[in-house]
Structure 1
C-alpha cells in the first residue's frame, strides 16, 4: 500500500498506453540500496539522480549533472518518486508526454548510507533526507566515493532545492562529461543513438 501511494504522482503524470516507462510493480532490488543517474534530453537537457529509499527511487533533477570534483556544488531539484524498475529505463518518451525526450542510463550501482547524528550514531537514511542532509558512498561504474545532498532554505521560484556535492576527506575527481557524448552503462549508446533507434534495445 505504501509503495502504491509513493508512486501516485508518478503514475498520474503518465499515459502508460503511450510511454514505455515502467508502471512500477514494487520489484525489490538485491545487493543493497541502488542508485541510478540518467541523462534526459527533454525540454531542457539535464541529469536525473535517483536513490533507492524503501520501495521507490527518490529523485532529483540535476541540471549540470553530478560531479566527482568536490569544488562543484550542483543544484538538485526534487521530482516525484519513481519505481525501482526505472533504474533500467532507457528509451524515448513520446512527444506530448510528461518528460518527452530521450533517456539513457549514464551510471548505476549501489550506495551505502553514511548519515550520523551529532553523537556519531547512524541515522535512518529516509530520516536523514527528511532532516535535509544525507551522506552516502556511491559504488557505480563511473561515480565512486562519498557524496552529500543538502536541502537549501530557498530555491528557484520558491521550489524546494538541494545541493549535491562530492564529499569526504581527500576527495578528488573529475567534472561532468559532455552529456551529448556520454555513453550509457546499460547499452553503450549515446542519446543520439537511442533516439535514432526509437528507444528500442
Structure 2
C-alpha cells in the first residue's frame, strides 16, 4: 500500500515590496501563508512577527520570478493545533526544525522550539 502524500511547505525569499519571507504550509488543498519580515528564527530565544496573508494556490510550491525565489522547500507535519497555536515540524533541504506559530491579538508570532526533532 502506498504511503499517503505528506503536506508540502515552501519558504519564499520575497524581495518586493520590501524584503521578507513567505512561509506557506499546504493544508486542505491550499497553501496557508504568513509573511515573516525577518525570516524564520534560527535560535530559540528569537521570536519573529508572522503576518497571516491570503491563502495561495498549490502552484506556488515551485513558483519563482525576478522578485521571489524558493529559499527552502520540503514537507511538514503538524504536532498540535488549535485556534491560537500551531506546533509543526518543517522537513526541509537542511533537515528538520520544530516551530510554533502563536496567534496574538493582531498577528502571529513564530518561534523555534526548544525541543528539536530527532
Tell me if both proteins adopt one fold, taking TM over 0.5 as the criterion.
yes
1:88 aligned onto 2:62: yes
Which residue of structure 2 aligns with residue 140 of structure 1?
92
Richer in helix (by share): 1
Which residue of structure 2 aligns with residue 41 of structure 1?
15
Q: Which runs of 4+ in 1 moved over 6 A?
A: none
State whether residues 107 and 143 of structure 1, in contact with CA within 8 Å, keep that contact through their aligned partners in structure 2.
no
1:142, distance to aligned residue in structure 2 (A): 3.3
Q: Which has the larger Rg?
A: 1
Which residue of structure 2 aligns with residue 73 of structure 1?
47
1:31, distance to aligned residue in structure 2 (A): 2.9
Richer in strand (by share): 2
**Separation (CA, whole Å) in 2 of partners of 1:50 and 1:34:** 8
1:53, distance to aligned residue in structure 2 (A): 1.0
1:167, distance to aligned residue in structure 2 (A): 0.7
1:145, distance to aligned residue in structure 2 (A): 1.9
Question: What is the CA RMSD across the aligned residues, in angstroms?
Answer: 1.5
The two structures have a TM-score, normalised by structure 2, of: 0.89
**Separation (CA, whole Å) in 2 of partners of 1:40 and 1:49:** 10
Gapped runs of 5+ residues in structure 1? 1-29, 93-101, 116-124, 154-159, 172-201
Aligned residues: 113
1:111 aligned onto 2:85: no
Q: Per-residue displacement from partner, 1:57-98 (whole Å, max 9, x unpaired)?
A: 000000000022111101000110000110100113xxxxxx
**Separation (CA, whole Å) in 1 of partners of 2:111 and 2:13:** 18
Q: Secondary structure at the match of 1:37?
A: strand
1:166 aligned onto 2:112: yes
The two structures have a TM-score, normalised by structure 1, of: 0.53
1:104, distance to aligned residue in structure 2 (A): 0.3
